Structure 1
Amino acid sequence: MSERGIDAFFYGLFMDQTLLKSLGIKPQYPRAGSVPGHALRIGQRATLVADSQARAYGMVMALTQDELRQLYGAPGLLDYQPETVSVELTDGGTVAALCYTLHQAPAPEEANPDYARRLREVFRQLGFPT
């Protein structure tokens, strides 16, 4: 019996299904959407921060609990914690999804130009605003 998928909202490099598959993850039911009231912030990696004037774009995909543990148990990702967000899907409707974020936003001087470049490319491929 297979484990039931959990909707998760991805806004960083994990939006890339090819990357997920290369890690042994089998994303199901990919849907584009956005989370109003949040902005993308990039330090060493991406996170979302509250911003009433912003909208964070990303992908909702169903993953198993084990797959989510595998992703967020990796080095550099242990500080990400799940919270539930309401995602407005681009094809209409709204879905509740888990979203892993840092509780403390990166410092303004923290940067990772390579990560930012790779993320811009994923955004471009998905047709999201950059």
Structure 2
Amino acid sequence: MSERGIDAFFYGLFMDQTLLKSLGIKPQYPRVGSVPGHALRIGQRATLVEDPQARAYGMVMALTQDELRQLYGAPGLLDYQPETVSVELTDGGTVAALCYTLHQAPAPEEANPDYARRLREVFRQLGFPT
């Protein structure tokens, strides 16, 4: 019996299904959506921060618990913690999904130009605003 997938909202490089597959992850049921009231913040990596005027764009995909542990147990990602968000899908539906975020937003001077460049490319490929 296969493990049931859990809907997760991805807003960083993990939106890229090709990247996930290269890591041995098999994303299921990819859907485009956004989380109102949150904004993308990039430091060394991406996170979401609360902002009532913003909307964070991303992908909802179903992954197993083992796959989520594999992704967020990797070096540099251990500080990300799951929370539940309500994602508005482009098809008009809404879904509850896990979303891994940093509890402390990156400092304003924190930057990772290579990560930001790669993320802009993923946003471009998905047709999201940059």
> TM-score scaled to structure 1, two decimals?
1.00
Runs of 4+ in 1 over 4 A off after TM superposition: none
Q: Distance in 1 between matches of 2:64 and 2:92?
A: 24
1:127 and 2:127 are equivalent in the alignment: yes
Task: Give 1:81 deviation, angstroms.
Answer: 0.0
Q: Distance in 1 between matches of 2:43 and 2:108?
A: 8
Q: Distance in 1 between matches of 2:114 and 2:32?
A: 24
Deviations 1:14-71 (A, max 9, x none): 0000000000000000000000000000000000000000000000000000000000
Give 3-state SS (helix, strand or coil) of 1:14's partner.
Answer: helix
Unmatched 5+ stretches in structure 2: none
Task: Give 1:91 deviation, angstroms.
Answer: 1.1
Task: Give 1:121 deviation, angstroms.
Answer: 0.2
Q: Distance in 1 between matches of 2:6 and 2:118?
A: 26
Deviations 1:102-127 (A, max 9, x none): 00000000000000000000000000
Deviations 1:75-119 (A, max 9, x none): 000000000000000111100000000000000000000000000
Aligned to 2:35: 35
> TM-score scaled to structure 2, two decimals?
1.00
- Paired-residue identity, %: 98
Aligned to 1:85: 85
Count, aligned residues? 130
Give 3-state SS (helix, strand or coil) of 2:25's partner.
Answer: coil
Give 3-state SS (helix, strand or coil) of 2:91's partner.
Answer: coil
Aligned to 2:107: 107
